[in-house]
């Protein structure tokens, strides 16, 4: 067995609490370093979580030769910059979603990774979960007939004025934080949209507290989604075909795995074994770095996702439907 991928955490972000146990449970990944803007915070975090190498500043971690790859859970506005810096420092990168909503930036990052022979992955953990794989198989395999409509949602109430999701300067807002899952899930089942129309409600901090989008895919398949930062928790995926509808409650966090297929009054429940999406995501990265497999989520998916997010954002500002455009 090859030695474990040595992972460094770029910040003490809250989401690390899902990465740390996932790495602990895996033989393929070991968290060896953490960095924080604040040296005392890095040291305290390292001590609390048994991470030997604690760095002041993200550059110091990128200069650490004992680190093979970095996990980037920074505010959205810092994803492109720190992904670029990490690649330039020779590290493989798993960057939290959304990597970016700028297709040109996305292309440039993947060009850089390819030039340097490094793996770059956008962190959509739900894509690694067996529930998502099963949804894709069922919808594509004809379980609901010909696909006509995909409806997705994600929302929860964000607490605390300091939350990065409420800060426009950090690229907060519901579309980038939550709608990005809705778009990803719709694209997974329906392909790439030909046009999109986004509508936003701007909240008191200046971010989109609520965002709704409609997407038109090839062959007349439609997509509808909504996401919000001041709504009660809700997360759903529904794929409607000519023969039935497939429904998933909790399609992104996958904490209550299971799929329902509804055909008239008949409801078929398809059980799915629970799995740790973060562990599967980390192991996918480790296998890609070891050269055993291609990563599940690569260049094409990230660029297509950025195109749709960018078009939705611009559509909401201009109040017109738009075509997602190719990067330059």
Ligand X SMILES: NC(=O)c1ccc[n+]([C@@H]2O[C@H](COP(=O)([O-])OP(=O)(O)OC[C@H]3O[C@@H](n4cnc5c(N)ncnc54)[C@H](OP(=O)(O)O)[C@@H]3O)[C@@H](O)[C@H]2O)c1
Site residues (vs ligand X, CB under 6 A): 11-15, 36-38, 41, 73-76, 78, 96-97, 123, 125, 164, 170, 177
Residue placing its CB nearer to ligand X in the complex, 37 or 47: 37
Name the minimum Å distance from CB 30 to ligand X. 20
Residue placing its CB nearer to ligand X in the complex, 129 or 315: 129
Name the minimum Å distance from CB 111 to ligand X. 22
Name the minimum Å distance from CB 33 to ligand X. 13
Residue placing its CB nearer to ligand X in the complex, 166 or 289: 166
Tell me the chain's radius of gyration from C-alpha atoms.
20
Name the minimum Å distance from CB 262 to ligand X. 28
Name the minimum Å distance from CB 121 to ligand X. 12
Residue placing its CB nearer to ligand X in the complex, 93 or 261: 93
Residue placing its CB nearer to ligand X in the complex, 143 or 280: 280
Q: Which of 148, 312, 324 is nearest to 227 (CA)?
A: 312
Enter the tokens of residue 19. Answer: 């990465």
Task: Name residues whose C-beta falls within 8 Å of residue 115's C-beta, 6 or more positions apart in sequence.
Answer: none
> Would you tell me how many other CB atoms lie within 10 Å of the CB of residue 112?
15
Q: Is 47 a catalytic residue?
A: no
- By DSSP bridging, strand 120-123 and strand 92-96 are parallel
Residue placing its CB nearer to ligand X in the complex, 97 or 299: 97
205: cis peptide before it, omega within 30°?
A: no
Name the minimum Å distance from CB 15 to ligand X. 3
Distance CA 173, CA 245 (A): 30
Q: Which of 34, 37, 59 is nearest to 46 (CA)?
A: 34
Residue placing its CB nearer to ligand X in the complex, 74 or 285: 74
Angle at CA 227, nearest 5°, toward 225 and 155?
130
Distance CA 119, CA 92 (A): 5
Task: Name residues whose C-beta falls within 8 Å of residue 15's C-beta, 6 or more positions apart in sequence.
Answer: 73, 96
Q: Which of 149, 74, 80, 69 is nearest to 108 (CA)?
A: 80
Catalytic residue (one of 85, 97, 127, 313)? 97
Cα 244 off chain centre by: 28
> Would you tell me how many other CB atoms lie within 10 Å of the CB of residue 264?
7
Q: Rounded to the nearest 5°, which phi and psi values hold at 291?
A: 80, 15
Distance CA 311, CA 327 (A): 12
Catalytic amino acids? 97
């Amino acid at each position: 067995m090859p030695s474990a991928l040595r992972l460094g955490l770029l910040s003490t972000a809250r989401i690390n609490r899902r990465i740390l146990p996932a790495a602990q449970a895996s033989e393929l990944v070991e968290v060896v370093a953490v960095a924080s803007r604040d040296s005392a915070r890095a040291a305290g975090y390292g001590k609390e979580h048994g991470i030997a190498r604690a760095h002041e500043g993200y550059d110091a971690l990128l200069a650490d030769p004992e680190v093979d790859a970095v996990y980037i859970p920074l505010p959205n506005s810092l994803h492109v910059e720190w992904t670029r810096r990490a690649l330039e420092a020779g590290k493989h990168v798993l960057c939290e979603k959304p990597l970016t909503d700028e297709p040109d930036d996305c292309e440039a990052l993947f060009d850089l990774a390819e030039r340097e022979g490094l793996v770059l992955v956008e962190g959509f953990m739900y894509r690694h979960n067996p529930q998502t794989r099963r949804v894709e198989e069922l919808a594509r395999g004809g379980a609901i007939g010909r696909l006509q409509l995909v409806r997705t949602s994600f929302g929860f109430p964000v607490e605390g004025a300091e939350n990065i999701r409420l800060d426009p300067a950090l690229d907060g807002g519901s579309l980038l934080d939550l709608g990005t899952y809705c778009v990803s899930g719709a694209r997974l089942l329906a392909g790439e949209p030909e046009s999109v129309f986004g509508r936003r409600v701007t909240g008191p901090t200046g971010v989109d507290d609520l965002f709704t989008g409609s997407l038109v895919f090839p062959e007349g398949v439609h997509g509808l989604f909504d996401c919000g930062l001041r709504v009660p928790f809700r997360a759903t995926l529904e794929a409607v075909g000519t023969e039935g509808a497939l429904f998933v409650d909790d399609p992104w966090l996958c904490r209550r795995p299971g799929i329902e297929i509804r055909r008239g009054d008949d409801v078929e429940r398809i059980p799915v074994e629970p799995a740790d999406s973060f562990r599967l995501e980390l192991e996918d990265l480790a296998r890609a770095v070891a050269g055993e497999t291609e990563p599940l989520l690569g260049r094409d998916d990230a660029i297509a996702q950025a195109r749709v997010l960018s078009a939705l954002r611009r559509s909401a500002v201009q109040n017109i439907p738009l075509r997602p455009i190719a990067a330059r």
